[in-house]
Chain A
Amino acid sequence: GNSVTQMEGPVTLSEEAFLTINCTYTATGYPSLFWYVQYPGEGLQLLLKATKADDKGSNKGFEATYRKETTSFHLEKGSVQVSDSAVYFCALSSSGGSYIPTFGRGTSLIVHP
C-alpha cells in the first residue's frame, strides 16, 4: 500500500535560515505528491504539488522536486520567516491507491526572530 514518511519535528530555526523537511514515499501506480501547511488554529491547506517525476512544485518561496529515483519530495525554502511557523504535511495520491490521499504525520516548524 501507499505510505509517506517525514522527518520528526519540531524543526526550530532562526529567521532567514535555510529549511529542509524530508519526505519519502512508497506508492503503487503513478503518484502525485503534495505538501500541505497547517497554520495555528486552522485546517490543512495545499502548499504545493507535483504530478510527475522531475516536476518542481513551488509556492510562497517553498519548493519541492519530485524525485522518482529516490522516492522523495523534500520541502525547501531558502530564507524562512516567523510567519512560516506551522505544521507541514507531505502527502500523495496514486492510481494504485484509488486516488485516496495518504498523509505523513506532519512536521512542526518553529521560526524564531
Chain B
Amino acid sequence: EAQVTQNPRYLITVTGKKLTVTCSQNMNHEYMSWYRQDPGLGLRQIYYSMNVEVTDKGDVPEGYKVSRKEKRNFPLILESPSPNQTSLYFCASSPLHLANTEAFFGQGTRLTVV
C-alpha cells in the first residue's frame, strides 16, 4: 500500500530536549516536505527536499533541521524545542517526474513542548 508514515503520532516533551520526528514513504517519490498546521494560520511549509541530499527552506524554517540521506526518509529534527513549536506536523511526498499526480500525506504528529 502506498503510504507516508510518520512517527510518533503524539509527543509531549520539555523545552530544550532534542527530538526527531521520522517520515518515510514507500512510493519512490523525489519530493518530500514538512508542514506545520496551526489554528488560524493554515498549513505552513518548514523544509522541503527535491531529492537525496537536496534540501531547502520553506516559509518557517527557524528552529528546525532536516536531512535527506535516503530517498525514502526525511526526518525533522528539533535540536532545542521551544513552546512555540507546539503544533501539528505533517510530512508529505510527491513525484516530480509525473505531471498531474497528487501529494501524499502522513497522518500527522501532534507535538506539545512544555
Measured CB to CB, the residues of A under 8 A from B are: 32, 34, 36, 41-46, 49, 51, 89, 91, 93, 95, 98-101, 103-106
Contact of B43 among A42, A89, A98, A99 (CB under 8 A): A89
Chain B min CB distance to A1 (Å): 12
**With contacts defined as CB atoms under 8 Å apart, how many contacts are there between chain A and chain B in the complex?**
64
Q: CB-CB < 8 A to B90: which residues of A?
A: 43-44
Q: Kindly state the interface size class of chain B when it binds its partner.
A: 20 to 34
Please report the C-alpha to C-alpha distance between residue A93 and residue B92 in the assembled complex, in whole angstroms.
14
Best-buried of B94, B100, B105 by chain A (most CB within 10 Å):
B100
Q: A42-B107, A49-B102, A91-B103 are in contact. Are A99 and B42 (CB under 8 A)?
A: no
Nearest CB to that of B102 among chain A residues?
A: A46
Contact of A98 among B42, B92, B96, B101 (CB under 8 A): B96
Across the interface, do B99 and A44 meet the contact criterion of CB distance under 8 Å?
no
